[in-house]
A = this chain, B = another copy of it.
Amino acid sequence: MRLAIVSTGHTKFGKLKQGIEELMLDVCNQALSKANTDIDAVDAIYISNFSSSFTGQCHLPAVLASKLGVDKEITRVESACASGGIALKEAAISILSGFYNTVLVIGVEKMCDTPIDQVTQILASAASQEEIKHGATFPSLYALMAQRHFYDFGTTEEHLAKIAVKNHKNALNNPLAQFHKEITVDDVLKSRVVASPLKLLDCSPVSDGAAAVLMTTEENALKYTDSPVYYIGIGHDTGTIDLKSRETISTMPAVKKASAKAFAMCGLTPPDIDVAEVHDCFTISELLQIEDIGFCDKGMGKQMIEACRTDIDGDIPINPSGGLKAKGHPIGATGVSQVVEIATQLRGEAGKRQVRDAEYGLCCNIGGTGATAVVSIFSR
């Protein structure tokens, strides 16, 4: 049985007025109305949400049921910033099991109402508390990974800056992106140092937002759309939370394993992929994933960037949406938002940011410093 994505929903990302329940309802209604159906057609809902500490609200399944005014089988899943990918996987499994036919996946986070020092603290709850206790934060952990990559492979700050520049450029054509501001390599290099070598413009922002995906069986799909996107590869891996336990920190072992599983499931290889959304919470993260997914050999990411191969008109466009860097990163929504972009690209509906002839797409959604990785592969 093939799984089909038949519809999507997506709010603007950024600082939004709506509360978390309105954001969920908004993307739910978008996905249903685009599929010309209503909530009765949905057997179950999976909600991806990172931390209740942003809103003081746990038990989102019941909040959503109230907002919808129906009762349903609703479940929340969490795996730090990889929550969205996990929700998608759980939804897929629930259909494969025969338990459900049609499932809605909603990713949501509401972060901008929380003071920034508190946001940092909440984000740090996704890291090893031992490392946090010794003064680490996510920017500093990723900075260590970047420094090691520089040392191992000769990558430079300019390479990372070019990733930010590309993603900001792509976001100009995404009306739902948080930032619509072109930047230069010089802007990145001159922006405030957050944790050397990472500067402010190497980091994804704090965001509110939600995204949704309506998934069903292949045989049901044509009820909802003429252009379903098929979900053909699922890879998931959870490794050690702390950097200190890893053999090397210039690679993300969970990304390698999750990618291998996803490719094995659908019989494809990295060169088959026409477009990818990867988890660029920091620019170094995009670089590591380009290598660990297998778009190039380890250490060769810098050459891909130099050759503009990951640009929107390159041979493997990465983050045409603008990525986490410029589209925004409302944690629980991110993994679902990646799938919305890939579905939009494979359907040829991405407008000015459309990648040419995209047949196969990939999403890489990670949690923490890559302790959790979910890689999903789609075909049109």
Contacts and interface: CB of A to CB of B under 8 A. Distances in A.
Interface of A: 50-53, 56-59, 61-66, 69, 71-80, 86, 89-90, 93-94, 96-99, 125-129, 236-242, 245, 253-254, 257, 367-368, 371-372
Contacts of A99: 93, 96
Contact of A371 (B53, B59, B238): B59
Contacts of A368: 59, 62
A53 B58 CA distance: 10
Nearest to A331: B58
A241 B63 contact: yes
A361 B253 CA distance: 43
Contacts of A57: 125, 129
B372 A240 contact: no
15 contacts: A50-B58, A52-B125, A57-B125, A58-B126, A61-B367, A62-B372, A66-B241, A66-B371, A71-B239, A72-B238, A73-B238, A77-B77, A90-B90, A93-B97, A97-B97
Contact of A51 (B58, B65, B72, B240): B58
A372 B59 contact: yes
A125 B254 CA distance: 33
Contacts of A76: 77-79
Contacts of A254: 71
A66 to B, nearest CB: 4
Contact of A59 (B66, B79, B89, B245): B79
Of all A-B residue pairs in the complex, the 8 with the closest CB atoms, nearest first, are A62-B371, A62-B241, A97-B97, A96-B97, A59-B80, A74-B238, A71-B239, A59-B126
Contacts of A367: 59, 61-62
B241 A65 contact: yes
Contacts of A72: 237-238
A76 B245 CA distance: 22
A316 to B, nearest CB: 27
Given A63-B241, A99-B96, A242-B66, A253 B71 contact: yes
A72 B368 CA distance: 16
Most buried by B among A63, A75, A89, A257: A75
A32 B60 CA distance: 33
Most buried by B among A64, A72, A93, A99: A93
A129 B372 CA distance: 31
A59 B237 contact: no
Nearest to A90: B90
Given A71-B254, A125-B52, A62 B240 contact: yes
B52 A371 contact: no
A99 B374 CA distance: 15
Given A65-B371, A96-B99, A58 B78 contact: yes
Contacts of A56: 125, 129
Contacts of A94: 93, 97
Nearest to A121: B56
B238 A62 contact: yes
